[in-house]
Amino acid sequence: MLTATAPLSGLRVVAASPHSETSTVLIELGVVFLVLALLGRLASRIGIPSIPLYLLAGLIMGEGGFIPIAAGEDFLAIGAQIGVVLLLLLLGLEYSPDDLRVGLRTTWKAGILDGVANAVPGFAVGLLLGWSVTASILLAGVTYISSSGIIARLLDDFDRLANRETPVILSLLVMEDIVMAVFLPILAVLLVGATIVQGAIAAGIAIAIVAAAFFFALKFSRHVSTVVHSHSRELLLLGVLGLAFLVAGLAEAVQVSAAVGAFLLGLTLSGNVADQVRGLMPPLRDVFGGIFFVFFGIGIDPRDLVPVLLPALALALVTAVTKVGTGIWAARQAGIGPKGQWRTGLSLVPRGEFSIVIAGLGVAAGAEAMLGPFAAAYVLILAVAGSILMRFADRIPSPLKAPPRRGVPPAV
Q: What is the mean pLDDT of the chain?
A: 80
How high is the pLDDT of residue 80? 83
For 375-398, write each residue's pLDDT tens digit. 888 988 998 899 889 988 888 777
How high is the pLDDT of residue 64? 64
How high is the pLDDT of residue 181? 67
How high is the pLDDT of residue 152? 82
Nearest in space to 148 (alpha carbons), one of 393, 382, 391, 354: 354
More confident residue, 409 or 400: 400
Mean pLDDT along residues 288-297: 82
Q: In the predicted model, is pLDDT for residue 400 greater than 60?
A: yes
Burial of 255: CB neighbours in 10 Å, binned 0-12, 13-18, 19+: buried
**Quick one: angle between helices 21-46 and 73-93, nearest 10?**
40
Model confidence at 13, in pLDDT bands (50, 70, 90)?
very low
CA 38 from chain centre, in angstroms, equals 24
Considering only the top CATH level, what class is 84-286+307-391? mainly alpha
How high is the pLDDT of residue 65? 64
Q: In the predicted model, is pLDDT for residue 124 greater than 70?
A: yes
How high is the pLDDT of residue 118? 95
How high is the pLDDT of residue 19? 55
How high is the pLDDT of residue 5? 37
Q: How many C-beta neighbours within 10 Å does residue 2 have?
A: 10
Start-to-end Cα distance in the chain:
48
What is the reported pTM? 0.74
- Measured in residues, the chain has a length of 412
Angle (CA) 121-144-58 rounded to 5° is 110
How high is the pLDDT of residue 91? 75
CA distance 27 to 365: 35
Mean pLDDT along residues 72-79: 79
DSSP line for 161-214: TTSTTHHHHHHHHHHHHHHHHHHHHHHHHHHTT--HHHHHHHHHHHHHHHHHHH
Q: Are 382 and 320 in contact (CB under 8 A)?
A: yes
Q: Are 356 and 297 in contact (CB under 8 A)?
A: no
User: DSSP 3-state assignment of 77?
Assistant: helix
Mean pLDDT along residues 324-352: 92
Q: In the predicted model, is pLDDT for residue 3 greater than 70?
A: no
How high is the pLDDT of residue 141? 93
The percent of residues in the chain predicted with pLDDT above 70, rounded, is: 84
In sequence order, the 6+-apart residues with CB closer than 8 A to the CB of 286 are: none
How high is the pLDDT of residue 304? 80
Going from the C-alpha of 142 to that of each of 80, 113, 121, the distances in angstroms are: 19, 16, 10
CA distance 328 to 315: 20
CA distance 358 to 371: 10
Mean pLDDT along residues 144-155: 86
Sign of CA dihedral 123, 124, 127, 133: positive
Q: In the predicted model, is pLDDT for residue 268 greater than 50?
A: yes
Q: Are 374 and 314 in contact (CB under 8 A)?
A: no
How high is the pLDDT of residue 14? 40
Conformational region of residue 193, where left means phi above 0, alpha means psi within -120 to 50, and beta covers everything else:
left
